[in-house]
Amino acid sequence: MDNQNIITLDNVRKTFRDFWLRPTVAAVDGLTISVRKGEVFGLLGPNGSGKSTTIKMILGLLSPSAGEVKLFGLSPRSIEARRRLGYLPELSYLHPFLTASETLRYYAGLCGLSRKEAASRTKELLEMVGLSDVASRSVGGFSKGMARRVALAASLIGRPELLILDEPTSGLDPISTKEVKTLVKALAAGGMTVLMTSHLLADAQDVCDRVTIVNHGKAVAEGEVSRLETSLEEFFLAKVGDVKDFRLAPFLGVSEKIR
């Protein structure tokens, strides 16, 4: 393993195929990324650009059609790589009949933590995400924001070296969003490597050290956020393309001139 690189994607392609093995979508098309130890790396791109597919390949949930994905220098499906990984999906996907603390203890068990350790970390993390008061309530009755916090805590239960966050602030109110951003910065300062995707470019600008912008499965730009001369949003729009106006006139039944 490269001493510095936690994640390495080397000319990775992912083409989804139908039953007859004909290519249907080329979701990722020759993507090369490396994420260094201790940095907060942002994977940005418009909807359908291949971010989620890339993340799933990094997690070992999808296998690349070509190229190579390495996690800690290992195959993403190896137990050793998965032991050092935390993952927060775009939606929380919790077991609705478990309570918040049972959810965390369940994931602690999957990470191989002892009962005592699991209990103490569960308590710590629930306090950290502000859910200590509702620890014994079923998560099925939680709001989207609360469920998001439980999922975030679950992703941290194994004290991972690498945290992969898919849209971490989606569904959170502004205060919670700020708290998550502060948490990510604190985790990175503690030596954790973070890979995140986000649609909210302002959030990415606040948190990320380095970003790669993907569009149509290809990396169109890469760079350190601190060295950008413009805002990340302007940089993004310049690389991905301008905003297209909806053609509202025919829909509204009025003349284009009114605009």
- When asked if residue 93 is in the footprint of other proteins (CB under 8 A), the reply is yes
With respect to other proteins, which residue has the nearer C-beta, 19 or 246? 19
- Minimum separation from the CB atom of position 18 to other proteins (A): 8
Q: Is 178 exposed, middle or buried (0-12, 13-18, 19+ CB in 10 A)?
A: middle
* Sequence-separated (6 or more) residues with CB below 8 Å from residue 247: none
Antiparallel, parallel or unpaired: β 66-71 and 5-17 = antiparallel
Distance CA 99, CA 136 (A): 5
- Minimum separation from the CB atom of position 33 to other proteins (A): 18
What part of residues 163-182 is at the interface with other proteins (CB under 8 A)?
Answer: none
With respect to other proteins, which residue has the nearer C-beta, 156 or 240? 156
- Out of 6, 62, 172, 219, the only residue in the binding site for other proteins (CB under 8 A) is 62
Distance CA 103, CA 106 (A): 5
With respect to other proteins, which residue has the nearer C-beta, 55 or 232? 55
Return the CA Rg of the chain: 20
Report yes or no: 167 and 90 within 8 Å, Cβ to Cβ.
yes
- When asked if residue 109 is in the footprint of other proteins (CB under 8 A), the reply is yes
- When asked if residue 143 is in the footprint of other proteins (CB under 8 A), the reply is no
What is the binding site for other proteins (CB under 8 A)?
Answer: 18-20, 56, 59-63, 77, 79-80, 82-83, 85, 87, 89, 91, 93-95, 97-98, 102, 105-114, 154, 158
